[in-house]
Every structure is written in structure tokens, then in C-alpha cells.
Amino acid sequence: MSIIIQACGLGKEYHRTHLQQYGDGLRHLMDRFLRSPWQFFRRQECEESFWALRDVSFEVHQGEVLGLIGRNGAGKSTLLKILSRITRPTTGWAEIRGRVGSLLEVGTGFHPELTGRENVFLNGAILGMPKQEITSKFDEIVAFAEIEKFIDTPVKRYSSGMYVRLAFAVAAHLEPEILLVDEVLAVGDLGFQKKCLGKIKEVSGEGRSIVLVSHQMNQVRRLCQRVAWVDDGVIKKIGPGHEVVSTYEAAMSRGHGRSVEANGGQRSSGNPDPKGRFLQWEILGSAHNPHELDWVGPVTLKFSLKIQSLISRGHYGIALRNSQQQLIWAWATEPLRLEVGEHELRHTFPMLPLRPGLYNWLATLYDDGRLVDWWDCTPEMAVATEVQQHPRDEWNGILNLPAGFEISCVSGQGQVSQTRSKASRAGFGSECDGN
């Protein structure tokens, strides 16, 4: 597969200037004024520099959708501006093979005094398209943007939603080989967002490449074959979409989660019995991260428990919740007798076919009805398996079950042919061959 975008060692340094601030109170200000009135009123400017991007390298292949995720200010938009030739890199280079269509912010490339119709032709001309080709696509663009009544109105009178609808319609329908999309689709309504997502799938299916910045992780999972996590100007991780998104979500959860104790777990309020304490948990057999599940198959979880005083009539319970605190599964056993020392509690499942995302285990221990420990297990469990559900996100449920699919077709001559396929993130398909 041919490489459409190749970036090597990209870096972007910015300089910012700010006025020197005075402090130290009124007495020190008066002292400075009396010593040098001229210098007092001539406030000096201080210049600082910072790197928005540092040593960024990656490739995008033909027909691939690459997602860029990360916190605000991480450098994602700067990277798109370099690829769009809006700004030059300070270090490194990027080679782009093909015509680029950019949708970086509301109204990018639009002249506010021109009408919607005139801006469509202006954008097409910027992309290097002849007028005849733009004319052939014009009706389709207007219909997609749903602004037929306002197409001859100056765009400065458009709402932000109308701006986005027209800008995306122009960028997607004028057939650039490469489409760069920043987090602008969030401005549109839900119905238009669905249309845009469908169009992005259609564009990538036609062999065109897309670089997409988004904070909506479900959309990134659904659309992107590969994802790059940008953090503090560098690519922290790049790889298959479901793996990188789950790693990013887990990191954000740990960094912005609830208050936890030094051992990494939120404990019950009140005065729990000091007889025992949960120490840690992990997924056995995980090659990379003991708290990340990236396969569909048998799973064994281990919970470590330290008992300091004999528990003679113990009750142990465990529950699994998703990020919306919806209960997925729970189980308990009693009575338990636990001697002093460290214990390993293991749960074996034939599989955990959960929708990719973050999940939280809750482990509890009682003795004779009295609470010993109540632990919201941290880190959270990140499920990073490939999506095996409907290609439209709104039809994705809690379970992510891999399933076979089979059609039996009876031909006109009475012969039977069968086609089998496996459910995948791309959808469901089969063929029936008749005579």
C-alpha cells in the first residue's frame, strides 16, 4: 500500500512576548518610581519560547484513516496546520502526495463577504479543480449541507452550524486525495454528525486518506484503523485504534480520577475493620499491561488480599461497572475462613466480551456482617479488543460478541450454495452465487 503522508522529525517552536509584571507591594513600587521614573513607566517585554511539537514522525497510507487524540494543547491542531501548509515546521519535514482538503476550524478558507455559492467555487479553485468539475458537484454539496435557502447569502451571516455544514460538504465532495479534519464536527447537530461520519467512511472506502482529530473516543474507535496519541508535543503511542484509545482513556482516568490512597485505591468511608485489606489486582497472561484486556477468550483475574486477623465468617463480593457506573456483573460467596497472611483470589471467565472502554472492579470483604474493606480497584480495567458490533455506533451495546454469520441461498435450479462470514467492525456481508 502506497504512502500518502510521510512526516519525519517534525518540530514547531513558538515565541511569545509578555510584559514584565511588577510586584512586591506599594512600598517597592514607590521605591522603583523614585529611583528611576523613566524606567518605571517603560515596562520591559519578556520573550519566551516553547515547542508545540517535538520530533514527530509517522506515515499515512492510501485509504487509511489516522486518528489524532490527546488533551487540549497537546499539539494536534499544530500538526494539522503543518500538513495543510498553513505554517512551516521549525525542524523536520513532511511529504504529502496528493491534493489536500482541510477542515481545521469553523470558516477556514471562507471569505465572509462572499456568498455560500461563491465560497464553494472559491474553495474548489484553491484545491485546483476546474470550474466544470465544481459545477457538477455543486448541487450535491448544497443538498448535503442542507442550506439551499441560504446558499446566496453572505457567509458572515451564517450560524456556526451552517458554517460547518457547508465547509465539510465542500471538503468532502470536491474529492481531495487527502482530507484533514479537526474537531469541528462537534459544532453540528447529532443528525449532521451521523451524516459526516458516514461520508468519512465513504471517502476512505474510495481510497482517499483521512487524518482526523477528535475527542469523541467512540467515533475514533469506529472510524480509524490507526490512532496516534499526542501528548505535550510528542507522539506518545501510535498503533491499532482500539489499543491506543484504551491506553489513552486509562491514562486520563488515572490522571483525573477520584482521590485515592497511596496504594492506589479508594476505600470505604467510616471506620472499616483493620482485619484485612485488598492490595492489588491484575489480569493474568496480559503481555503488555496487567490492567488491559486486548483479547477475546479465557480471562483470569487475580486479586491480592492481606489478612491481619482471623476472618471466620467472611463474605466476599465483587462487581464490575462501566464508565457510566452501570452494573455489568456481580458475584459473592460466603462463608469464608481466611487465616492471617496474604491470599490470592482468582476469577476465571470463558471470556469477557465487553465493549471497548474503561471498566471498574469493586471488591468487598465482610466478617460476620461487619465491613472489613471496600475497594474501588485501581487502575481501572481498559478493554482494548477490536469492535465486533454494528458499524454504526448508536447500535453498539454493552457486549462485544464475536459471531459467525451464514446465508444459505437456493438457486432457481434448486441447488444450494452457502456463504459464511465473520462479524467485523466493517459490517456484515455475504454473497450468493446462483447458476
Instruction: Give the DSSP letter string of 184-222.
Output: TGGGS-HHHHHHHHHHHHHHHHTT-EEEEE-S-HHHHHH
How many whole angstroms separate alpha carbon 231 and alpha carbon 426? Answer: 29
- CA-nearest of 239, 206, 211, 205 to 391 is 205
Q: Check: CB of residue 79 under 8 Å from CB of residue 10.
A: yes
Q: Check: CB of residue 238 under 8 Å from CB of residue 244.
A: yes
* Three-state DSSP class for residue 125: helix
The crossing angle, in degrees rounded to 10, of helices 160-173 and 131-145 is 140
The β-bridge relationship of strands 178-181 and 100-103 is parallel
Q: pLDDT (tens digit, 0 to 9) for every residue of the chain, 435 residues total?
A: 688 999 999 999 988 765 555 555 666 667 776 777 666 666 555 677 888 999 999 999 988 999 999 988 888 989 998 998 888 999 999 999 888 877 776 556 688 899 999 989 988 887 777 888 889 989 988 988 888 899 999 988 988 778 888 888 887 787 788 888 887 666 566 777 777 777 777 887 788 898 988 888 877 887 888 999 999 899 999 988 888 888 888 777 665 444 334 344 555 544 456 789 999 999 998 877 888 888 889 999 999 999 999 999 999 999 999 888 889 999 999 999 999 999 999 999 999 999 888 899 999 999 988 899 999 998 889 888 888 887 766 677 888 888 888 888 876 555 555 555 554 443 434 444 444
**Cell numbers given for 432:** 450468493
The topology under which CATH files domain 62-87+99-253 is Rossmann fold (3.40.50)
How many whole angstroms separate alpha carbon 351 and alpha carbon 345? Answer: 18
What are the start and end residues of each CATH 2.70.50.60 domain in the chain?
A: 266-383
Signed CA dihedral, 156, 158, 159, 163: sign only: negative
Q: What angle do CA 121, 127, 129 make, to 5 degrees?
A: 65
How many whole angstroms separate alpha carbon 240 and alpha carbon 225? Answer: 6
**Please, which residues have CB within 8 angstroms of residue 245's CB and are 6 or more apart in sequence?**
67, 69, 217, 220, 221, 227, 356, 384
* Three-state DSSP class for residue 10: strand
Distance of CA 363 to the CA centre of its chain: 29
What are the start and end residues of each CATH 3.40.50.300 domain in the chain?
A: 62-87+99-253
Bridge partners of 311?
338
- CA-nearest of 71, 103, 93, 70 to 211 is 103
Whether domain 266-383 has CATH 2.40.10.330: the reply is: no
